Amino acid sequence: MVQKTFAEETNAPRGAAWMDEKSEEEEGSEQQRAGCYQKAWIYPELPWGAPPSWNENHLFSSKFLAIWECLTCMACLYIAFIVPYLAGFDDHKAEQYALFKRCGIKYAGQDVYGTLFALIDLTCDVMFVVDLILNFHIAYWKIDNRGREHWVLVDDLKTIRSQYLRTNFLTDLVGVLPWQYLDCAELPTNFKILRLFRLLKLFRLYRLRRAIKLIYFKYPRSVFFFTGIELFVSMFLVAHWLCCAWFYVGVKTKGWVVAQHIMDENGEFVSDDLLYQWVTSIYWAITTMTTIGYGDISATTEQERELACLVMVIGCAFFAWSTGKITQMLTDQKRCQIRFRDKLDELSGFVKARDLPEELVQQIKSFYMLKFPAMRIFDEDAIFADLPSGLSKAVKVELFKDIVLQCPLFHAVERSIAIEICSCLKQVYVTGDVEITSEGEIADAMYIVRFGLVGLWVHGQEISVARR
């Protein structure tokens, strides 16, 4: 059974059967790739194991998508910092003491901060709206196990839109609504609670988690470095959110902020040193989360003590999560993925030790990309050896039944014979420019093209092509 090839076909020697470059998936989808820009607008980066020719026409869009993901992640981090700050620090302050004006558009041009943050807010809102639209037009890759395990590019708009509507559309829609502009309307005091709707923009933070997963998949050898960054950013954001809640409660109850001379007993702020207020609050949040608690800043009112208890519980939970994260990183790696990485390490050492030419190294790499597109290796021999004979045959029938059903040679055989045929089949992967058999060789096997294309050459001329 011969699998798909990606390499370009060259002049074959006399009487040889060769794997052609244009496999069925590639040649059969020529028209699809030629009309790609009539379907999806943007195409993702080529994953490991996908045919390189797929990326030839979409190199620019894949680079744009990578840059766009970075920009949207930066916008999400901005939202994660600003929205809780507005709710905790600025909402109960007079305009002259607020860092971020309640309606930034009104203050654009009046002062530097008002103009700057109004532009940043507007830019983030526009980016999120554009991102919502783009998600209906971004192609994606998925693993398909039909025939063999291989990557399939999904660029049909109907499928893309259906998938997005079923998954992240509602979350993005809630997060993209510009709730902050409610402040531009003169709301009655009873409706000021509507400002809390701005916290719904935090739903967009799921994009950060998705970006982290993509980084782990793309750079598996740097998992320790990126995990450290993830833990640091997570701790900073949690501490920032808790410090915003701590300052909000302190102002509402005239508790610790009065003791720290940030506010007087009449509810007036002593100074407009916003950095000091934030640093003092996050200092308390971090010392409480880590259960250090120096005591120089302490809860004095009932509400503050309730919040302090909650923060300590959150701190313990965060510590347990971070410990579990590190432990999982060290111990919970899938053996099939570890086996694949070990195989690549061994292969890299082999080609360097033997000083193989670059062209041959690329052919070897293409073979492993063809055989293991999902970057995992299962020990199938050991699995089948552990299974009883009947169960082992049943598994092989499930794996190879498409061959028996589609190959005319086996249409008339009985079920028992078909089961025996399936139990004898073995998968063979061949890349381009690799000879399968030549004229004069003793035939020791029969090959069935399960996925791909095979060319038969005689006297340098192609006389037949087998494809599936």
Q: How many domains is the chain built from?
A: 2
Is there a domain that residue 131 lies in? Answer: yes
Residue 382: C-alpha distances to residues 333, 387, 395 (Å)? 20, 9, 14
3-state secondary structure of 174: helix
Q: Would you say residue 15 has pLDDT above 50? A: no
Cα–Cα dist 36/137, whole Å: 11
Element (H, E) at 34: helix 30-34
Residues 158 and 272 in one domain: no
Is there a domain that residue 13 lies in? Answer: no
Residue after which a domain boundary falls, among 201, 218, 235: 218
261-302 confidence digits (pLDDT tens) = 888 888 788 877 888 899 999 999 999 998 787 888 888 899
Is there a domain that residue 420 lies in? Answer: no
Cα–Cα dist 246/297, whole Å: 11
- Listed in sequence order, the residues at least 6 apart from 20 whose beta carbon sits closer than 8 Å to its beta carbon are 5, 9, 432, 453, 454, 455, 465
DSSP class of residue 128 equals H
Residues 170 and 307 in one domain: no
Residues facing 459 on adjacent strands: none
* Cβ atoms < 10 Å from Cβ of 209: 10
Q: Would you say residue 245 has pLDDT above 90? A: yes
Residues 74 and 194 in one domain: yes
Residue after which a domain boundary falls, among 171, 195, 218: 218
Q: Check residue 103 and give its pLDDT.
A: 59
Residues 51 and 167 in one domain: yes
Residue 419: C-alpha distances to residues 146, 398, 413, 423 (Å)? 19, 10, 10, 6
- Let me know: does 74 contact 123? Beta carbons within 8 Å: no
Residues 196 and 244 in one domain: no
Residues 92 and 239 in one domain: no
DSSP class of residue 428 equals B
Residues 143 and 244 in one domain: no
Is there a domain that residue 130 lies in? Answer: yes
Residue after which a domain boundary falls, among 218, 243, 264: 218
Among residues 347, 75, 62, 31, the alpha carbon closest in space to that of 214 is found at 62
Q: Check residue 392 and give its pLDDT.
A: 86
303-326 confidence digits (pLDDT tens) = 999 999 999 999 999 989 888 888
- Listed in sequence order, the residues at least 6 apart from 274 whose beta carbon sits closer than 8 Å to its beta carbon are 89, 97, 99
Is there a domain that residue 16 lies in? Answer: no
Cα–Cα dist 303/52, whole Å: 61
Q: What is the mean pLDDT of residues 56-85?
A: 84
Is there a domain that residue 70 lies in? Answer: yes
Is there a domain that residue 438 lies in? Answer: no
Is there a domain that residue 454 lies in? Answer: no
**DSSP sequence for 41-110:** SB-PPPPTTS-GGGGTT-HHHHHHHHHHHHHHHHHHHHHHHHHHHIIIIITTS-GGG-SS-TTHHHHBTT
Q: Check residue 29 and give its pLDDT.
A: 45
Hey, which of 19-28, 128-137, 363-372 has the most confident mean pLDDT?
128-137
Residues 51 and 41 in one domain: yes
Residue 224: C-alpha distances to residues 11, 218, 227, 327 (Å)? 47, 13, 5, 11
Residues 159 and 237 in one domain: no
Using 50, 70 and 90 to split pLDDT, how confident is the model at 133? Answer: very high
Q: Check residue 89 and give its pLDDT.
A: 83
Residues 146 and 278 in one domain: no
Residues 249 and 153 in one domain: no
Range of the domain at 299: 220-334
CATH number at residue 294: 1.10.287.70
What is this structure's pTM?
Answer: 0.73
Q: Say which residue the tokens 């919040």 belong to.
A: 307
Residues 54 and 138 in one domain: yes
